Amino acid sequence: MLVADRSEDDPLLLDRQVCFPLYAATNLLTRLYGPILSGLGLTYPQYLVMLVLWEEDLQTVGALGARLYLDSGTLTPLLKRMEKAGLVRRERDQNDERRVLVSLTPAGRNLRARALQVPEVLANGYPAGELENLRLTVSEMVTELARHRVGKLSDQALPADKAGKA
């Protein structure tokens, strides 16, 4: 049963939303990564943390969160599990006790050699230029959203329905 007249120019059609294909692609990519990363003993979010630390070891939780667009409430339990698994070490900054530093353990550094296969396995069957163009386009979108849009859009939140109806 249709709730409203459906026309191709209806702005509320799911297929007209910018967010939906990105959301669906993210879900599908996460599911693709799952079995590949399980062989490394990593979840997808843990893999992202490892990628950042393999680029530059010894970072604050805040710097990791900023790079991955994760808040500390999400990142801290993730890092605790990674520390328990022996991949990272967390310690208070001796110069500023409020800051927590995260660094790779030898096991975390050594895991990089095995992880080198991950991008190749995921890219299998896609033309390299096509994937690179997609990565660049999405990266530009992320940069634009983070820089200009997120703060401004939060000022434009729709008011709640005073009658309490959704």
Which has the higher per-residue pLDDT, 151 or 37? 37
- Tally the domains of the chain: 1
Per-residue pLDDT at 33 exceeds 70: yes
Per-residue pLDDT at 151 exceeds 70: no
40 domain residue, yes or no: yes
134 domain residue, yes or no: no
75 domain residue, yes or no: yes
156 domain residue, yes or no: no
3 domain residue, yes or no: no
1 domain residue, yes or no: no
Per-residue pLDDT at 125 exceeds 70: yes
For the domain that residue 52 is a member of, what is the CATH number? 1.10.10.10
Confidence of residue 100 (pLDDT cuts 50, 70, 90): very high
pLDDT at 22: 93
For 91, the 3-state DSSP assignment is strand
For 44, the 3-state DSSP assignment is helix
Structural domain span for residue 66: 16-115
Confidence of residue 156 (pLDDT cuts 50, 70, 90): low
For the chain, how many residues are written?
Answer: 166
pLDDT at 5: 64
pTM of the predicted model as reported, rounded to 2 decimal places? 0.83
The CA-CA-CA angle for residues 32, 37, 40, to 5°, reads: 165
58 closest CA partner among 9, 119, 110, 104: 104
130 domain residue, yes or no: no
Which has the higher per-residue pLDDT, 2 or 20? 20
136 domain residue, yes or no: no
